[in-house]
């Protein structure tokens, strides 16, 4: 138990340090610019059951994309993400979870990942197949999002549970670090503003 507490504290301190370099606004850093006509809704990915999902089905919705992991100190944020899903889904909002083992904290099979999320957190939001969110094998949608919303110093995702907010036009309008709670005031305000914006 003492080892686990120490490990958890180390994770949180590390993520806190990394969060200093994560952008919370669009003017934080220069970066390569994706096509002005490209949209989040142009991409696709396999869901946790292996079925290909075209993101065009989310067109017109406000989307919160989160890279998740089952063995992270921030894993309890899954409960907060489910709270957001229940609060705003009827207004045209959804959470999309993308499990990743990039930080060695999502080691199970897709079946184990899904079972854990459903049994422990009773999630109702879509979950996608495990995949890389960093590096040369980075999923295309994460490449798109990090180019649209780079970090202050590091463009790439630096830890589990980073969050990208997509507006109804498919553009990344906000990015939060791991330490920002999904139900924090800043996140709620941005979601509500995006939902209220005219299409």
Give Cβ neighbours of residue 98 (< 8 Å, ≥ 6 apart): 45, 65, 66, 67, 68, 127, 128, 131, 133, 139, 142
Out of 22, 62, 65, 72, which one is annotated catalytic? 72
Task: Confirm whether 72 is a catalytic residue.
Answer: yes
User: Do residues 146 and 155 make contact, with C-beta atoms less than 8 angstroms apart?
Assistant: yes
Task: Measure the CA angle with vertex 30, ends 28 and 31; round to 5°.
Answer: 120
How many other C-beta atoms are found inside a 10 Å radius of the C-beta of residue 22?
25
Indicate which residues carry an active-site annotation. 72
């Amino acid at each position: 138990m003492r080892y686990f507490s120490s490990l958890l504290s180390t994770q949180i301190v590390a993520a806190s340090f990394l969060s200093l370099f994560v952008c919370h606004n669009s003017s934080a850093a220069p970066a390569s610019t994706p096509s002005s006509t490209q949209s989040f809704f142009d991409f696709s990915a396999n869901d946790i059951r292996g079925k290909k999902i075209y993101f065009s089905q989310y067109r017109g919705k406000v989307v919160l994309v989160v890279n998740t992991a089952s063995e992270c100190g921030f894993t309890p944020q899954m409960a907060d993400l489910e709270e957001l899903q229940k609060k705003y889904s009827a207004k045209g909002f959804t959470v999309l979870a993308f499990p990743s083992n990039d930080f060695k904290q999502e080691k199970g099979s897709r079946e184990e990942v899904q079972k854990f999320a459903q049994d422990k957190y009773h999630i109702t939001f879509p979950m996608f197949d495990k995949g890389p969110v960093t590096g040369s094998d980075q999923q295309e949608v994460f490449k798109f999002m990090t180019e649209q919303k780079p970090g202050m110093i590091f463009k790439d995702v630096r830890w589990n549970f980073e969050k990208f907010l997509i507006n109804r036009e498919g553009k990344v309008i906000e990015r939060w670090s791991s330490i920002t709670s999904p139900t924090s005031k800043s996140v709620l305000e941005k979601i509500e503003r995006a939902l209220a914006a005219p299409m």
